[in-house]
Structure 1
Amino acid sequence: MSPHSSSTRSTTRTSSSLPVRQAARYSTTRRYARRSSTPSTTTRSSRPPSPVRGKTQGSPIPNGFEGSEGQVLPSYDVDKAKSLLAEAGVPDGFTIASAYPKFSVYGVDFDVMMQSIQQDLVDVGITLELQPMEYTQWAELIAGEGTPITAVYFAPDHTDSSQYASYFGMMPSSPWSLSASVDGPVVNQAEVDSLAKALTESGADRTATYTELGKQMAGDLIILPIVNPQLVLAHASDITGVAYSPCCNLDLSTLGVK
């Protein structure tokens, strides 16, 4: 969510307030997350395509990385969401734009995902006006006036959780901190301190610090994780050394043949 987008600023501060972001969290995990956790039975000719098999996650640090264990998974509560909207002064809801790139990556079709989120939000009174666009057009929009709500994917380059804090956290000059408030960039000093601490630690201490960092990032309610696609590795029975890697990089040096 990007409260600093020109669309949000010109509409109302209410639509980007903390209670509204909390309401969005309580109402954006039902349809897509439920369908994503069920093996697809969709045929090739069926439309729309079924979401990828995946899991929900409790923070911007994805499942399988240090700090992902022990996070509170998002829950669906339409009554709580409506109560929060009333608290924010918009008991009847509101309409808000959402531009996003037309991606289909790691089995996740952004059109299907965003349509599912749109259906969830309308149940609590929030009407999402979807604006799918090509990546270059979307990138120009994000770099310029922005959009109140969007969707992205992040494929890690390595197995350290620090990259998620640097990209999704409220850190100085991190991409999403720049648009996290109608008043301008946001820095969560607790996250800055936690990341600095984690980078000096190892073992259980490092994991505990990343876990706390994940909770801090989840509490920002700027990044709302939707689905963590599950990697499926298919191989012949005589191939050895095949193992899951949370960063989706398969170390070829570990492979062998029986």
Structure 2
Amino acid sequence: MRRFLVLLLVLSFVAIPLGGVVAQDEKVLVVGLSEDYSRLDPGRAYEPGGSLVYHSVYDTLVTFPSDSTAEILPNLASEWSISDDGLVYTFTLRDDVTFSNGDPLTAEDVVFSINRMKNLKDNPSFLADTIASVEAVDDLTVALTLTAPDPAILAKLVFDAFSIVNAEEVQAQGGTDAEDAAETDTAEAWFNGNSAGTGPYVLESYEPGVQTILARNEAYWGDAPYFDRIIIQNLPETATQKLSLEAGDIDIAMDVIADQLPSFESNPDITVFSTQSDTLIFLLFNQDPEVGGPMSDPQVQKAVRYALNYAELAFLSGEGANTPAAMVPIGFAGALDPSEGVAQDVDMAKQILSDAGYADGFDVDLEYPDFNYIGTDFNVVAQKVQADLAAVGINVTLVPQEFQTSLDLYRTGAQGFSLWLWNPDYQDTLDYVEFLPGGVVGLRANWTDENADQEILDLRDQVKVETDDAARIDLFTQIQHYEQESAPFAPLFQPGVHFAYRSDLQGFAYNGQWRVDLTQLSY
């Protein structure tokens, strides 16, 4: 009965635009999410929560299975080949794919999409740094040439920012793939209310901070999805998600916290899924003394790593949480065994601080986004960090910030000491080179080639182009040992990730890239 009443539940919970007529028996999926995205231009895709939308509306050349990241599968590309020198990837496109407006997919659309993403020079553009050129060999063949061998390139191409868009339609809305796209592209506003993809759904509407509504793509080239509409409702409070799920107002709660699990598990109408996520929660120390103050001192950073009680921090995230030994999460090739991690040693931390000239401690602000991510409450984690550091004489003032405000400060390297998370852009250990000098996160800590040791610069440059698996693991082992001693970061834990959903919902599967494939769900 519920599947036929779901629309009535939705209407009592969210505001459906009145401009459209909705059939009474329309099948609607409602998802409760703590929204972390503020725009829906695939060329600028970066925030994890946005993957629910991008993966439903757009396709990439290659993809993963719905329930794992263990292998690369064909998607818009039916097959591909790699040159002997590892520099040229040639993709053959499917010949039966159309965009949502009915236009056929061509190689020119692929060229435009990748070049636009790269030339926008937005947050995900670094993923295309190893791409020298993209060329249309013919209507259904694309040649992608690299500047150097990139063992992670296929995994990168699964990421949302490599979504393929309809070049002609986007150009008509001010989009461009020219080298000056960062200054001249004007399609972002259009993308916030429209879409130009080949996926099972189209974007019907988006109200930032309120809801995102997707409608079935009637021109979809694959099997039609079960649901006519998907509503992603912004519910920042986990308690609200819980109450809404129990009332039947939403079908999935995306941000369940550990304390809620017993209540959900005792409810026969609700199913719980828990696992260890590949999200890394960490502390950042700014290397610029004018920004980081005492936190820019490598000895202070080392003392902080010894001061933390990692087991108690991981406990805050509940079932499935664990602490990686360094900045490569557990589960990625080459990650150190957790037993090799830094163990809490308060006396050691005090001694290091004393040797560094801080025997009497010091005061510092800890900045962080005031939000909950996959069940991890950043306020609670910050309070635990505050308590641990107080034991060694570091007096922390907590500075919670509105999410977007904090994100902007973090991305511009303006936070001296902060609490953040990293969700992998692509499922390869090479993604964690971004925590090294000159990397995306490295620069947010103002860790540059100019202020870094030659040792870590050499390791970084070697691992970027190494294609032999054993050699890569050896290099990543050396990098992580270096990070334990000298990097401007402290890994706290990988949260357990918890979802709760209506028990009659079928097809639920977890994938680290997009979390849940909404297009595969049904009743």
TM-score normalised over the length of structure 2: 0.39
AA in 1 matched with 2:300 = V
Structure 1 equivalent of residue 479 of structure 2:
213
Give the deviation of 1:7 after TM superposition. Answer: 4.6
| Change beyond 3 A, Cα 1:118–1:194 | same
Instruction: Indicate conservation of the 8 Å contact 1:78/1:124, yes or no.
Output: yes
| Change beyond 3 A, Cα 1:104–1:129 | same
Once residues 230 and 89 of structure 1 are traced to their aligned partners in structure 2, the CA distance between those partners, rounded to angstroms, is: 38
Give the deviation of 1:134 after TM superposition. Answer: 0.8
AA in 1 matched with 2:329 = P
Instruction: Indicate conservation of the 8 Å contact 1:33/1:55, yes or no.
Output: no
| Change beyond 3 A, Cα 1:200–1:111 | same
1:96 to 343, 353, 364: 364
Matches within 5 A, 1:66-81: 66-70=333-337, 72-81=340-349
Structure 2 equivalent of residue 186 of structure 1:
451
Q: Which has the larger share of strand?
A: 2
Instruction: Indicate conservation of the 8 Å contact 1:67/1:214, yes or no.
Output: no
Once residues 331 and 484 of structure 2 are traced to their aligned partners in structure 1, the CA distance between those partners, rounded to angstroms, is: 17
Once residues 218 and 177 of structure 1 are traced to their aligned partners in structure 2, the CA distance between those partners, rounded to angstroms, is: 18
Once residues 185 and 137 of structure 1 are traced to their aligned partners in structure 2, the CA distance between those partners, rounded to angstroms, is: 28
Q: Deviations over 1:80-123 (max 9, x none)?
A: 11111111111121111111111311221111111100000001
| Change beyond 3 A, Cα 1:102–1:160 | same
Give the deviation of 1:240 after TM superposition. Answer: 9.6
Give the deviation of 1:250 after TM superposition. Answer: 6.5
Once residues 241 and 99 of structure 1 are traced to their aligned partners in structure 2, the CA distance between those partners, rounded to angstroms, is: 35
Structure 2 equivalent of residue 47 of structure 1:
none
Once residues 150 and 124 of structure 1 are traced to their aligned partners in structure 2, the CA distance between those partners, rounded to angstroms, is: 18
| Change beyond 3 A, Cα 1:204–1:246 | farther
Structure 2 equivalent of residue 121 of structure 1:
389
1:6 aligns with 2:290: yes
Matches within 5 A, 1:49-64: 53-64=320-331
Secondary structure of the structure 1 residue equivalent to 2:397:
strand
AA in 1 matched with 2:357 = G
Once residues 249 and 124 of structure 1 are traced to their aligned partners in structure 2, the CA distance between those partners, rounded to angstroms, is: 38
Instruction: Indicate conservation of the 8 Å contact 1:57/1:228, yes or no.
Output: yes
2:488 to 222, 228, 239: 222
Structure 2 equivalent of residue 49 of structure 1:
none
Give the deviation of 1:234 after TM superposition. Answer: 8.0
Once residues 144 and 200 of structure 1 are traced to their aligned partners in structure 2, the CA distance between those partners, rounded to angstroms, is: 30
Q: Deviations over 1:118-148 (max 9, x none)?
A: 0000011101111100122223434567232
1:176 aligns with 2:460: no
Once residues 136 and 207 of structure 1 are traced to their aligned partners in structure 2, the CA distance between those partners, rounded to angstroms, is: 36
Matches within 5 A, 1:228-239: 228-231=494-497
Structure 2 equivalent of residue 45 of structure 1:
none
Q: Which runs of 5+ in 2 are unaligned?
A: 1-284
Instruction: Indicate conservation of the 8 Å contact 1:178/1:186, yes or no.
Output: no
AA in 2 matched with 1:111 = N
Once residues 326 and 427 of structure 2 are traced to their aligned partners in structure 1, the CA distance between those partners, rounded to angstroms, is: 16
Q: Which runs of 5+ in 1 are unaligned?
A: 40-52
TM-score normalised over the length of structure 1: 0.74
AA in 1 matched with 2:451 = V
Give the deviation of 1:218 after TM superposition. Answer: 3.1
Secondary structure of the structure 1 residue equivalent to 2:327:
coil
Secondary structure of the structure 2 residue equivalent to 1:176:
helix
1:203 to 434, 449, 469: 469
2:296 to 7, 11, 16: 16
Instruction: Indicate conservation of the 8 Å contact 2:425/2:513, yes or no.
Output: yes
Higher relative contact order (CA 8 A, sep 6+): 1
| Change beyond 3 A, Cα 1:185–1:137 | farther
Once residues 56 and 97 of structure 1 are traced to their aligned partners in structure 2, the CA distance between those partners, rounded to angstroms, is: 24
Once residues 184 and 192 of structure 1 are traced to their aligned partners in structure 2, the CA distance between those partners, rounded to angstroms, is: 7
Q: Percent identity?
A: 24
| Change beyond 3 A, Cα 1:101–1:216 | same
Structure 2 equivalent of residue 164 of structure 1:
432
Structure 1 equivalent of residue 421 of structure 2:
153
1:25 aligns with 2:305: yes
- Higher CA-based Rg: 2
Instruction: Indicate conservation of the 8 Å contact 1:6/1:145, yes or no.
Output: no
Once residues 300 and 496 of structure 2 are traced to their aligned partners in structure 1, the CA distance between those partners, rounded to angstroms, is: 30
Give the deviation of 1:149 after TM superposition. Answer: 0.9
Q: Deviations over 1:178-219 (max 9, x none)?
A: 6447x9953344334334433322332222222222222333
Instruction: Indicate conservation of the 8 Å contact 1:94/1:125, yes or no.
Output: yes
Instruction: Indicate conservation of the 8 Å contact 1:56/1:225, yes or no.
Output: yes
Instruction: Indicate conservation of the 8 Å contact 1:57/1:225, yes or no.
Output: yes
Once residues 508 and 408 of structure 2 are traced to their aligned partners in structure 1, the CA distance between those partners, rounded to angstroms, is: 43
- Computed over aligned residues only, the root mean square deviation of the Cα atoms, in angstroms, reads 3.5
| Change beyond 3 A, Cα 1:159–1:95 | same
Secondary structure of the structure 2 residue equivalent to 1:128:
strand
Give the deviation of 1:29 after TM superposition. Answer: 2.9
AA in 1 matched with 2:481 = K
